[in-house]
């Protein structure tokens, strides 16, 4: 069966531009997570969606970051006015239920010039 997919796999953008990252979770998984992996920083939790419930946005690093999940399935992470410190690999994961085993996508490598 299909795993978690993310697009694009790579994104290079100029400072100040907006970017949108997409995540397609495993079919039937109700929980969806976004993480960021920066060089030397490890993996950092960003935001979590459970079904159609409103997410807790407190983990997002700044108000330039937003995320939505449409129809309890596909999710998009949007970064407005990108900065060089936003350069990282953005990973999406899904699980069947809250706190079950998480299955990760291949990530989107974002480079802000």
Partner 1 sequence: KQEVTQIPAALSVPEGENLVLNCSFTDSAIYNLQWFRQDPGKGLTSLLLIQSSQREQTSGRLNASLDKSSGRSTLYIAASQPGDSATYLCAVHSGGGADGLTFGKGTHLIIQP
Place of tokens 């993310």: 6
87 binds partner 1 (CB under 8 A): no
Which of residues 11, 94, 107, 110 is near partner 1 by CB under 8 A?
Answer: 107
At 15, is the secondary structure helix, strand, or coil? coil
Distance CA 1, CA 76 (A): 22
104 binds partner 1 (CB under 8 A): yes
106 binds partner 1 (CB under 8 A): yes
35 binds partner 1 (CB under 8 A): yes
Please say whether the beta carbons of 69 and 75 come within 8 A.
yes
Distance CA 48, CA 51 (A): 10
CB atoms closer than 10 angstroms to residue 68 = 12
43 binds partner 1 (CB under 8 A): yes
Which of residues 11, 21, 29, 48 is near partner 1 by CB under 8 A?
Answer: 48
Q: Residue 7: what are its φ and ψ, rounded to 5°?
A: -145, 150
CB of 16 to partner 1, least distance (A): 28
Comparing CB distances to partner 1, the nearer of 36 and 79 is: 36
- The token pair at 2 is 């299909």
Summarize as ranges the residues that interact with partner 1 (CB under 8 A).
Answer: 4, 33, 35, 42-48, 50, 56, 59, 91, 93, 98-107
């Amino acid at each position: 069966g299909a795993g978690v997919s993310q697009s694009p796999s790579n994104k290079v953008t100029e400072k100040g531009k907006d970017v949108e990252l997409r995540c397609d979770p495993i079919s039937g998984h109700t929980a969806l997570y976004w993480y960021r992996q920066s060089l030397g920083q490890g993996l950092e939790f960003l935001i979590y969606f459970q079904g159609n419930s409103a997410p807790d946005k407190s983990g997002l690093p700044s108000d330039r970051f937003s995320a939505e999940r449409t129809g309890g399935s596909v999710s998009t992470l949007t970064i407005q006015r990108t900065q060089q410190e936003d350069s990282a690999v953005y990973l999406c994961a899904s699980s069947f239920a809250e706190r079950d085993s998480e299955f990760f996508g291949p990530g989107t490598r974002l480079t802000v010039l």
